[in-house]
Amino acid sequence: MGDRGGPAVSCPPAEPGRSEGAEPGNPPQEERWKVLFDQFDTERSGYISTRQFWTLLQSHGSEVDPHKLDVMMALADTNADGKICYQDFVNLMSNRRTNSFRRAILQGNRRLCNKALLEESGLSLTQRFIRHVAYETLPREIDRKWFYDNYTGCPPPWFMIAVTVLEFSFFIYYGLVLDRFVLQVTHPLYLRNNPLIYHPQLRAQAWRYLSYMFMHAGIEHLGVNVVLQLLVGVPLEMVHGALRVGFLYTAGVLAGSLAVSVADMTAPVVGSSGGVYALVSAHLANIVMNWSGMQCQFKLLRMAFALICMSLEFGRAVWLRFYSSAYPPCPHPSFVAHLGGVLVGITLGVVILRNYEQQLQDQSLWWIFLSIYVSFLAFAVLWNSFAFNLLVLKLPPPP
């Protein structure tokens, strides 16, 4: 683990012949590197150009430890000003590890990746877990090693943990209030005075298009969603960060409720299935698209397990939707939100999870899918504003 990789920071020119923390009088080995550096630093500025640095490496590469040579090459590539600092040069050759050189070491490992991450031995339990996450989510060895070297656990995967805690808290609260933890949605009071559930009669309350994700139909509904979002969402957040995973999850939730308001206009919606299905479908699509590169164990069995869980949960939702309601004329919650989440996952999600540390703003496909998603949101907003009245639908009474 270490600092996040990036361009090496520049440092002020050091007095030639003196390194950070060195006592007066250079040791013989450091004096030798000083002489080499001074051959190219004719102006005694404390810097040499990248071109001179390459010449130095070509002339004296055999005298440099291969790993250090890789690190210096990476340092030369990442310096934005095209210069190599004397202080950095001497610190590296003298085995001093400043922050800039830790970054350079990580960059060098990412460039060459001579040793597969699976061949690393003597790892702690935490290190093995991070390595496991890398192989579960990333298709390229270069990205797996880069993630393994950089991941510090700070911040932790807080988004998925916070969402899970809130979902459990609301479920337990309503379970105690209703004295029911299985198929809560069949209780006559489940929808009544609930400020979170999306209901077609209350569609003007915009927060319900997102807040419904904290409510679940029963313990079986909550259980499947929580298991999937923790098994898939937490590793994805560790690798891709809370911003990307949170965006994908929220986009799936929003697409789910809007899809219901368009395709199943008379039904309420509960559950986080839209967000969960967005994460899982994006992850599974990423595995399929990078099948040869994915090195996770039993990947076919894992995919089958995820698909079976999703299918069972979706089947439960379809059955419940058409099951006789305990409080007619209001029907049971819709299952269309699941399909909205899947569509978000295999479009936006695949682009977001394609590579590690990608720059999404530089990818045309990202903008195409984002434009399609925004167009759908705009269409759904207009639909909710006018279609219900134009179609003269008989909506169920508000809870």
What is the tens place of the pLDDT at every residue in 136-161?
A: 888 877 778 778 877 888 889 999 99
- For 128, phi then psi, to 5°, come to -65, -35
What is the C-alpha to C-alpha distance for residues 271 and 208, in angstroms, rounded to an integer?
A: 12
* The architecture CATH gives domain 28-112: Orthogonal Bundle (1.10)
Binning pLDDT at 50, 70 and 90, where does residue 134 land? confident
SS (H, E, C) the chain: CCCCCCCCCCCCCCCCCCCCCCCCCCCHHHHHHHHHHHHHCCCCCCEEEHHHHHHHHHHHHHHCCHHHHHHHHHHHHHCCCCEEEHHHHHHHHCCCCCHHHHHHHHHHHHHHCCCCHHHCCCCCHHHHHHHHHHHHHCCCHHHHHHHHHHCCCCCCCHHHHHHHHHHHHHHHHHHHHHCCCCCHHHCCCCCCCCCCCECHHHCCCCCHHHHHHHCCCCHHHHHHHHHHHHHHHHHHHHHHHHHHHHHHHHHHHHHHHHHHHHHCCCCCECCCHHHHHHHHHHHHHHHHHCCCCCCCCCHHHHHHHHHHHHHHHHHHHHHHHCCCCCCCCCCCCCCHHHHHHHHHHHHHHHHHCCCCCCCHHHCHHHHHHHHHHHHHHHHHHHHHHHHHHHHCCCCCCCC
* Amino acid, res. 245: V
In this prediction, residue 99 carries a pLDDT of 47
Pull the structure tokens for residue 141. Answer: 């060895």
Q: Where are the domains of the chain?
A: 28-112, 158-391
pLDDT at 234: 94
The CA-based diameter of the chain, rounded to the nearest angstrom, is 91
Lowest-confidence pick of 8-22, 229-243, 304-318: 8-22
Lowest-confidence region among 13-17, 148-152, 173-177, 340-344: 13-17
Whether residue 182 has pLDDT greater than 50: yes
In tens, the pLDDT along 195-236 reads 888 988 888 899 999 999 998 888 888 998 999 999 999 999
Looking at the annotation, which residues are catalytic?
273, 338
Q: Can you list the pairs that 42-47 forms with residues at least 24 positions away whose Cβ atoms lie under 8 Å?
A: 44/16, 45/13, 46/12, 46/13, 46/14, 46/15, 46/16, 46/85, 46/86, 46/87, 47/13, 47/83, 47/84, 47/85, 47/86
Q: Is the pLDDT of residue 300 over 70?
A: yes
Are domains 28-112 and 158-391 of this chain identical in fold? no
Residue 252 near residue 318 (C-beta atoms within 8 A): no
The pLDDT, as a whole number, for residue 217 is: 83
- Residue 311: pLDDT over 50: yes
Q: Residue 297 phi/psi, 5° resolution?
A: -70, 140
Cβ atoms of 316 and 220 within 8 Å: the answer is yes
Contact criterion met (CB below 8 Å) for 369 and 354: no
Of the candidates 128, 143, 104, the residue with the CA atom closest to the CA atom of residue 3 = 104
pLDDT digit string, tens, across residues 230-265: 999 999 999 998 999 999 999 999 999 999 999 988
Question: Residue 330 class from Cβ within 10 Å (0-12 exposed, 13-18 middle, 19+ buried)?
Answer: buried
In this structure, CATH architecture of domain 158-391: Up-down Bundle (1.20)
pTM of the model: 0.70
